[in-house]
Amino acid sequence: MSASVQLIGLDWGTSSLRAYLYATDGKVVAMRQRPWGIRHLPEGGFSAASRGITAGWPPCTIVAAGMVGSRQGWLEVPYVTVPANATAIAKGMLRIDAPAHLDMWIAPGLLQDSPANVMRGEETQIMGALAQQPEHQANVRFVLPGTHSKWVTVSDGRITAFDTVMTGEIYALLMKHSILGAGVSAEGQQSVPNDAFLRGLRSAKESAAAGAFSRLFSSRALLLANQLAANDVPEFLSGLLIGEEFRIALVRDGGDNSVPLCLIGDASLCERYIVAATHFGYAPPAVIGDASAQGLWQLAATAGLLAQSTTYDFSGTDL
């Protein structure tokens, strides 16, 4: 294929690096992925990684987002404080001068003062999701499940507040290192949420204001009392921890589950969150994929980088 291109986007996290090459209309015409997260850089570091992943592509303006802008990243880009819209985020971008990248920008993360909270990368995904589904500008809660799940409130196109729940990390720690995972196979986790997952959700809900932290040990107690099979422990814990996210959200909203939810993330993980959302009385959330690519383009556009950037002809096969 052949296209006129004008931007490269880098989604640069802790464990992986993705690059997008955009046509002048914003369509992604080429995409590459490397295991070069900021903690797993190739020899030559950030500069070599960015040159490597864009090798053979035209020398377009580059916009990057994620942990690459953190203290451990290429250039620390100060957080922008919420509330923040695309314009505020774009204004916070910093330009990096590197020999091979004459025009490269890194997006800032977002900071919430109280309760103290930070994000890097998710703000870009959300801007991408808002561009795809402008009807969500008005009032929506974006949920980005994962190692550190983010629950992000958007109101009138601005990110106004967010919570982080360390669901994925705690789940992995409990299964791998705690008494709860002792003698339990991690393969017990099914691709489709089963009854034990629902039981975990129910336990989180029943815990009410005491919270799921007060129920963690029940996983062990149920096993010892022969009321939970060892194979079901992973699903039970998954339900308990994901349920805790919804319990917290309902506390924040005073029990109001009419807030529209929108999921951004991996499809099989999102499936769990759809089941949980229904269990907690929410309407089934929409799921948005590929939000980073859209978000990087959106930030570049908002920052005025597209207006000034050179266009190149590109004939590539690496999509």
Binding its own copies by CB under 8 A: which of 40, 102, 156, 169? 169
Distance CA 310, CA 26 (A): 14
Residues 6 or more apart in contact with residue 223 via CB below 8 angstroms = 184, 229, 230, 233
Report which of 60, 65, 88, 84 is spatially closest to residue 75, judged by C-alpha positions.
65
Is 229 among the residues that bind its own copies (CB under 8 A)? no
Binding its own copies by CB under 8 A: which of 43, 116, 135, 315? 116
Report which of 63, 22, 10 is spatially closest to residue 303, judged by C-alpha positions.
63
Binding its own copies by CB under 8 A: which of 111, 161, 198, 274? 111
We find the least distance from the C-beta atom of residue 210 to its own copies, in angstroms, to be 5
Report which of 162, 242, 150 is spatially closest to residue 202, judged by C-alpha positions.
242
Q: Which two tokens stand for residue 196?
A: 């034990």
Binding its own copies by CB under 8 A: which of 186, 230, 251, 319? 251
Residue placing its CB nearer to its own copies in the complex, 50 or 125: 125
Please answer whether residues 131 and 298 qualify as being in contact, where contact means their C-beta atoms are separated by less than 8 angstroms.
Answer: yes
CA 49 to chain centre: 22
Is 242 among the residues that bind its own copies (CB under 8 A)? no
Is 134 among the residues that bind its own copies (CB under 8 A)? no
Per CB under 8 A, contacts with its own copies among 284-303 are none
Burial status of residue 200 (CB atoms within 10 A of its CB: 0-12, 13-18, 19 or more)? buried
Sheet hosting strand 80-81, strand order edge to edge: 80-81, 110-112, 117-119
Segment contacting its own copies by CB under 8 A, of 44-52, 168-176, 262-270, 282-290: 168-176
Q: Which helix (H) or strand (E) holds 63?
A: strand 61-65
Q: Which two tokens stand for residue 262?
A: 């929108």
Segment contacting its own copies by CB under 8 A, of 29-37, 90-98, 208-216, 301-309: 208-216
Phi, psi of 193, rounded to the nearest 5 degrees? -55, 130
Is 146 among the residues that bind its own copies (CB under 8 A)? no
We find the least distance from the C-beta atom of residue 219 to its own copies, in angstroms, to be 9
CA 57 to chain centre: 27
Residue placing its CB nearer to its own copies in the complex, 61 or 164: 164
We find the least distance from the C-beta atom of residue 109 to its own copies, in angstroms, to be 9
We find the least distance from the C-beta atom of residue 59 to its own copies, in angstroms, to be 33
Residue placing its CB nearer to its own copies in the complex, 82 or 306: 82
Distance CA 5, CA 314 (A): 6
Per CB under 8 A, contacts with its own copies among 267-286 are none
Is 174 among the residues that bind its own copies (CB under 8 A)? yes
Binding its own copies by CB under 8 A: which of 178, 190, 309, 311? 178
Sheet hosting strand 149-155, strand order edge to edge: 158-165, 149-155, 139-144, 261-264, 286-288
We find the least distance from the C-beta atom of residue 229 to its own copies, in angstroms, to be 14
Binding its own copies by CB under 8 A: which of 35, 217, 281, 284? 217
Is 222 among the residues that bind its own copies (CB under 8 A)? yes
Is 107 among the residues that bind its own copies (CB under 8 A)? no
Please report, as ranges, the residues that interact with its own copies according to CB under 8 A.
70-71, 79, 111-112, 115-118, 148, 163-166, 169-170, 173-174, 176-179, 203, 206-218, 220-222, 224-225, 227, 244, 248, 251-252
